Amino acid sequence: MSGQESAAETAKPKLIAKDVNVYYGAKHALKHVDLNMNSGEVTALIGPSGCGKSTFLRCLNRMNDTIEGCRVEGSITLDGEDIVSGVDPVLLRARIGMVFQRPNPFPKSIYDNVAFGPRIHGLMEKKEELDEIVISSLKRAGLYEEVKDRMETIGTGLSGGQQQRLCIARAIAVNPEVILMDEPCSALDPIATATVEELIDELRESYTIVIVTHSMQQAARLSQRTAFFHLGEVIETGLTEQIFTNPREKLTQGYITGRFG
Amino acid sequence: MATDPHIVKSFDEALGILHGQVSRMGVLAEHQLGRAIQALADRNDELASQVVQADVDIDDLEAAANDQVVRVLALRAPVADDLRNVLTSLKIASALERIGDYAANIAKRSIVLSSMPLVPTVRPLQRLGKLVHGLLAEALTAYEEKDADKALDVWKRDKEVDEQYSGLFRELLTYMMEDSRNITPCSHLLFIAKNIERIGDHTTNICEMAYFLTTGHPVEGARPKNDTSTTLNRD
């Protein structure tokens, strides 16, 4: 516990959201959200369906830009730089990668899936450099040993857990600073889930990871910090250990213990 | 703390079973201690034998409560107040089982004592027993009612137990020095006094658990103690 607390003291906020409001037309979907997400940590966003946690996640890499009638107000900064309106979303998404609920590899070879991002961002000049990025990304995603002899086979032919790790390899291939994950294990079996969770824990040291999950146990196992969303508001944030042993708010307690009506 | 029912009703049922087991243990332990002290005061061997025999009921309940805790932890993965509820149940059940053992030991010794000449110390010993019996009852009430203030109050009052125990310790030494024929009964009485004092300590553990269950924090600070018997020199 003291280790966690000292980690909390030294944690550096990478992403800072201040008074973030999101409207879908007239609907006020996110209300005055303040949240710091630290580098070297996994921040878990929990809450019942429709509470705004995915909406918030999508604000962090401008995914809401694509939704008609959606309006984002307030300030979100990445290393102090405003990302709500100031930056080019394409460049931003190279810095902030995303992994989705269902593994969604491109219908291309394993190699091309991982090489896709580096190619469009022009991150390398020679084939050897690209090979190196693809291999190191697959290694970091814990997938290389399983696929090294069939790099040219189609990515969608892998198992669910392998596909999700392929998507993680694809996300880290462009060397992002932040990785957003929207229920990355909900379509996976327990073994594949454990593998992906172990991977996330390993990646944590090098990235800022923000994860939306419906699994209380996954949030408890995986994250250092937890934010509980309810009806578009952040009800409580804190160290995960505190949230799951002694939450301050009655609503948080009701939700995590399964008493929510 | 949240007292709303869980969405999954069987979770509440499982917690209810566990709570019932621990509550029943509390009632039995309190009853056993009261009867053991009564048997000692009245030199009532029949009552003492009943106490010795009934200890197994508390042991059985503890085993059942342990099983229930394992089941709830494995199947429900409780968190927050549910987790505290389960953990404190486990620890309180353990304390109550020990209290039951001490009560049975007091009863066993009272059977031996009743065959010997009466030693005057039985009265102050009975007073100590009643004090601890009362504290145990209040600690269990604090647990049942989730009353952190009451738990803390009882926790602090263990000091009185220590004071009385230290006095008894000196008194028994004096009797033993006065007449060596007192050594056997006084040794039994000394063990009984120690048993009661230990029950007092387990009672403070129950208070600590009741406090933690309700507040989510451990009791802070050192418990006031007044047991001087451990450093007492014979002179």
Indicate yes or no: CB of A253 within 8 angstroms of CB of B80. Answer: yes
pLDDT mean over A149-178: 94
pLDDT of residue B121: 77
> What is the residue extent of each domain of chain B?
9-231
pLDDT of residue B235: 52
* Minimal CA separation from B73 to chain A, in Å: 13
Indicate yes or no: CB of B6 within 8 angstroms of CB of A250. Answer: no
- Count CB neighbours of B208 within 10 A: 21
3-class SS shares of chain B: helix, strand, coil, % to 5 = 80, 0, 20
Total count of domains within chain A: 1
* Minimal CA separation from B164 to chain A, in Å: 38
pLDDT of residue B2: 46
Indicate yes or no: CB of A216 within 8 angstroms of CB of B79. Answer: yes
Partner A contacted by B74 (CB < 8 A) = no
Indicate yes or no: CB of A257 within 8 angstroms of CB of B81. Answer: yes
Which residue do the tokens 């089941």 mark? B71
Range of A7-21, A29-43, B213-227 with top mean pLDDT: A29-43
- CATH number at A136 reads 3.40.50.300
Indicate yes or no: CB of B80 within 8 angstroms of CB of A245. Answer: yes
pLDDT of residue B72: 96
pLDDT in tens, A184-234: 998 888 888 998 899 999 999 999 999 999 999 999 999 999 999 999 999
Helix A160-172 with A190-203: angle, nearest 10 deg: 20
pLDDT of residue A232: 95
Nearest CB to B2; choose among A220, A244, A253: A253
Nearest to A140 by CA among A73, A220, A196: A196
Indicate yes or no: CB of B2 within 8 angstroms of CB of A254. Answer: yes
Chains A and B form CB pairs within 8 A to the count of: 44
Q: What is the ipTM of this complex?
A: 0.77
Helix/strand/coil for A54: helix
For residue A36, what are the CA distances in angstroms to A18, A19, A210, A232? Answer: 9, 12, 11, 17
CATH class (in words) of the domain with range B9-231: mainly alpha
Partner B contacted by A217 (CB < 8 A) = yes
- In-domain check, residue A261: no
pLDDT of residue B1: 42
pLDDT of residue A260: 76
pLDDT of residue A5: 47
H or E element: which one contains A237?
strand A233-239
Reply yes or no on whether the pLDDT at A95 is more than 50: yes
* Minimal CA separation from A43 to chain B, in Å: 19
Residues spanned by the domain of A222 = 2-256
pLDDT of residue A1: 39
- In-domain check, residue A176: yes
Helix/strand/coil for A26: coil
pLDDT of residue B234: 55
Q: Mutation test of the interface with chain A: which of B79, B81, B86, choosing the one with the most A Cβ atoms within 10 A?
A: B79
Partner B contacted by A244 (CB < 8 A) = yes
Nearest CB to A258; choose among B8, B216, B217: B8
Nearest to A230 by CA among A260, A204, A200: A260
Q: Which residue of B has its CA nearest to A243?
A: B80
- Give, for all 235 residues of chain B, the pLDDT tens digit: 447 899 999 999 999 999 999 999 999 999 999 999 999 999 999 999 999 999 999 999 999 999 999 999 999 999 999 999 999 999 999 999 999 999 999 999 999 999 988 887 788 899 999 999 999 999 999 999 999 999 999 999 999 999 999 999 999 999 999 999 999 999 999 999 999 999 999 999 999 999 999 999 999 887 777 777 777 665 5
* Minimal CA separation from B79 to chain A, in Å: 6
